[in-house]
Amino acid sequence: MALVKFGGGIIQASGSIAGVTHARNRFGNYIRPRTKPVNPNSAGQAAIRTALSYLAEYWHSTLTAAQRSSWNTYAASVGMKNRLGEPIFLTGFNHFIRSNTEIIRQGFTIIADGPTELALPEKDTTFAVAGSEATQLLSVTFNNALPWATEVGGFMFVYQGVPKLVTRNYFGGPWRYADSIVGAVEAPTSPAEIAAGFTLTEGQKDFMYARIARADGRISEPFFCVPFLVGA
């Protein structure tokens, strides 16, 4: 479905209408022919679909009315942005799925009660990554003084993009989950080393992003680091 913004005429559009797709990049708005993406049916895709299906059923059949109400209260208080950058409010069901998908994929316990703190977690402005071809490890720098790092049930989920040529300055995907840094009573050490999700080759450029998850079920917007060149 396309989102269209009207002024004196159409001044902004995002999504597909009939056979064309409306989008925007750093150079402005553009329209291209709509193409149907190939479905590789990868293991990662299958895991996401399984998690979404399980959580949807869990919402309807396992959560209590009070728990669903708590998620709805949280959703009504936390503004998000759509593809046009306009403020919107998701449903409690949307936030329950959004918060728990990665949590159960990694084998952690579902958070059933809606958050009582009505705000998204803060992003980590110190987030930075380096990588090595020899070790195939990513060195993730983060602020271990943030609240998630010193609470049991707090996480930083880290995602890696497909490595690109050094001349590449923009990347929109695909992304792959790399690993999570787990909060604890004693904060994890920064930088942390995690296994790369994609093969690292010296001299290539890589793009990374992360999300912070709090123990009460709140999950941050994605935040990105400066792209890095893979070392030897």
pLDDT tens-digit readout, 20-56: 887 777 667 777 788 776 677 777 788 888 999 999 9
**pTM score of the predicted model:** 0.83
Residue 25: beta bridge partners?
28
Say if residue 58 is in the same domain as residue 14. Answer: no
| pLDDT confidence bin for 2, thresholds 50/70/90 | low
Q: Is residue 157 situated within a structural domain?
A: yes
How many domains does one find in the chain?
A: 3
CATH of the domain at 211: 2.60.40
Strands of 192-195's sheet, edge to edge? Answer: 128-132, 137-141, 192-195
The residues facing 195 across adjacent strands are: 137
Residues 58 and 84 in one domain: yes
Q: Which candidate, 200, 187, 181, 198, places its Cα nearest to that of 130?
A: 200
Q: Where are the beta strands (DSSP E) in 68-226?
A: 80-81, 87-88, 128-132, 137-141, 155-161, 175-182, 192-195, 205-206, 208-213, 223-224
Find the angle CA(18)-CA(24)-CA(29) to the nearest 5 degrees. Answer: 80
The residue range of the domain holding 8 is 3-33
Model confidence pLDDT, tens digit, residues 58-104: 999 999 999 999 999 999 999 998 877 888 999 999 999 999 998 89
